[in-house]
Amino acid sequence: GAVVSQHPSRVICKSGTSVKIECRSLDFQATTMFWYRQFPKQSLMLMATSNEGSKATYEQGVEKDKFLINHASLTLSTLTVTSAHPEDSSFYICSARDWSSGLSRGQYFGPGTRLTVL
Amino acid sequence: QQQVKQSPQSLIVQKGGISIINCAYENTAFDYFPWYQQFPGKGPALLIAIRPDVSEKKEGRFTISFNKSAKQFSLHIMDSQPGDSATYFCAASVTEGGADGLTFGKGTHLIIQP
């Protein structure tokens, strides 16, 4: 149980284009999902908290107009990188909490999406 | 300000040995401390987690030791195997069960030599 998927796994785009990344909880419902960014050989940095049916909460220094988050259902959150530039190239990873049976079982991470902006 | 400090940055252990990774935190409001294992190009996988009301938790070959007064916690991997070679991250969150986003340590690159 507690499987989180992401799509696509890899994406290469030209500078100035927008890219959408999907995060799905496959076998549980997630009212809250999280988006992280990880640069090569570095740690994960929380970008934003995605709340189903409401606006996302962004961490300090993360541009909300550049990284659009939509959490339209209990199993899907999307991250759209708008007008991507080479410095946005990174590994984007989502996570979701499993509240099965009313108990938190921790955060489970997706496999990540490698974004390369040319 | 780095809220979770992790050491060592890299670690080499012989097969069958004990791997020990340490973390220290600053925010006394942290209430949940998980450890994650990450292989190259993959997302982190939850290994084991602990809350401050216990001093130790063991799951298989993995043990977390927690020292609340020192604000430190560590991961011990017993009988380390080559398949354990990966990057390990400690993390912390304020809300019980990690309802808020996690603050990660910088990671430890572990290599288990056959």
pLDDT tens-digit series, residues B52-99: 889 999 999 999 999 999 999 999 999 999 999 999 999 999 876 566
Per-residue confidence band for A15, with pLDDT thresholds at 50, 70 and 90: very high
- Taking the C-alpha atoms of residue A42 and residue A47, their distance in angstroms, rounded to an integer, is 15
Residues of B in contact with A93 (CB under 8 A): 43-44
Closest residue in A to B44 (Cα) is A109
Question: How far does A9 lie from chain B, in Å, by closest CA?
Answer: 10
Q: Is B10 on the interface with A (CB under 8 A)?
A: no
Q: What is the 3-state secondary structure (H, E, C) of A59-90?
A: CCCCCCCCEEEEEEECCEEEEEECCCCHHHCE
Please confirm whether the linkage preceding A40 is cis (ω < 30° from 0). no
Q: Is A32 on the interface with B (CB under 8 A)?
A: yes
